[in-house]
A and B are shown apart, each in its own frame.
Chain A
């Protein structure tokens, strides 16, 4: 695994992107946050931070064939993705977790390539979504959104 790259192995676009489905469902996230716009933006900030750190860490774990920790990391990412209603990312993290449990290097490689695509989509989308809630809520995002 040491020489394997995790970039450029997957397709350029994924199914969700092809269907025009946003990577994070804003309405579902607002519902989870009970309409609290300030919490929505805080959650998006934390999620963005987590995404930036998780991919690098998971790639290192995969290169080291550390399946147990990779499964744990992907499980954590799956949970966070579900909480923010990033369901395509949830699915991608689930596939990494499954391949890690199976100790399947090729499966992990493919799953991480898919994960990278979904993380990139989320990272591109988060600023747009955050601006929407900051702008829409008024009062610097301290209000509630319907």
Chain B
């Protein structure tokens, strides 16, 4: 692309699978942004929009001066708040995820496995479930299928509507996303949690745009 004068002004985005979360800018010269896979559609749309509005390399210095991680995904809208059930069997992941969610304005409740998650959603109202896929007693796939079955049977209360479930997985393998969707989950993000990415997904599900779409 560097050799073709027609392409020199075209912004380039580096896609990587790196798990480096240091926030350091590791883009090679000439790349306007770096995104970590897997990408969610809202990240792609918003990111391309930002690049095309602001120009390529000019944007890079602005992003570096600001918070690099936050620049990759929009913050969740201030109006998006609610009760989140975190289904996660590892205590370290529970501690960190709850801190992230609480600081972002959510009320976080922990379930230690899929079975406990089902018990929680049948007895308390939640706006969203973050579901670890691989848990010891009952995994997130089975739990999500059961939650959807309970919804269809009316056991969760028709007034609550469909409970959004976001999958959390330490794998980033092709096919994982499809497996999550097949189990009834609505979206997918990888661990370790990238808060900006997670908030973007939650905003897409619980935000005002989602409410308008549902209306």
Contact = CB atoms under 8 A, between A and B. Distances in A.
B53 interface: no
A64 interface: no
B99 A79 contact: no
B187 interface: no
Contacts of A87: 19-20
Nearest to A36: B99
Contacts of A46: 91-92, 95
Interface string A10-48: 000000000000000101100111101001001100110
Contacts of A78: 170
Contacts of B69: 31
Contacts of A82: 19, 170, 191-192
Given A32-B192, A33-B99, A34-B99, A83 B22 contact: no
A85 B24 CA distance: 14
Interface string B102-138: 0100000000000000000000000000001010100
Counting chain A CB atoms within 10 Å of each CB, the highest count among B69, B89, B134 belongs to B134
B150 interface: no
Interface string A71-105: 01001101110111101001000000000000000
Interface residues of A, number: 26
The secondary structure that dominates the B interface is loop
A5 interface: no
Counting chain A CB atoms within 10 Å of each CB, the highest count among B19, B95, B191 belongs to B95
The secondary structure that dominates the A interface is helix
Nearest to B88: A79
Interface string A45-57: 0110010000000
B21 A79 contact: no
A72 B136 CA distance: 8
Contacts, number: 70
Contacts of B192: 32, 79, 82-83, 85
B44 interface: no
Question: How extensive is the interface on chain B, given as a class?
Answer: 20 to 34
A75 B89 CA distance: 12
Nearest to B23: A31
Contact of B93 (A33, A72, A80): A80
A141 B19 CA distance: 28
A28 B93 CA distance: 14
A28 B21 contact: yes
B191 A83 contact: yes
B10 to A, nearest CB: 32
A90 B95 contact: no
Counting chain B CB atoms within 10 Å of each CB, the highest count among A39, A76, A83 belongs to A83
B23 A28 contact: yes
Given A72-B136, A79-B170, A84 B99 contact: no
Contact of A27 (B22, B96, B170): B22
6 contacts: A28-B22, A32-B192, A46-B91, A75-B170, A76-B89, A83-B193
8 residue pairs, one from A and one from B, having the closest CB atoms: A82-B192, A79-B170, A80-B92, A34-B103, A28-B21, A83-B93, A28-B22, A83-B192
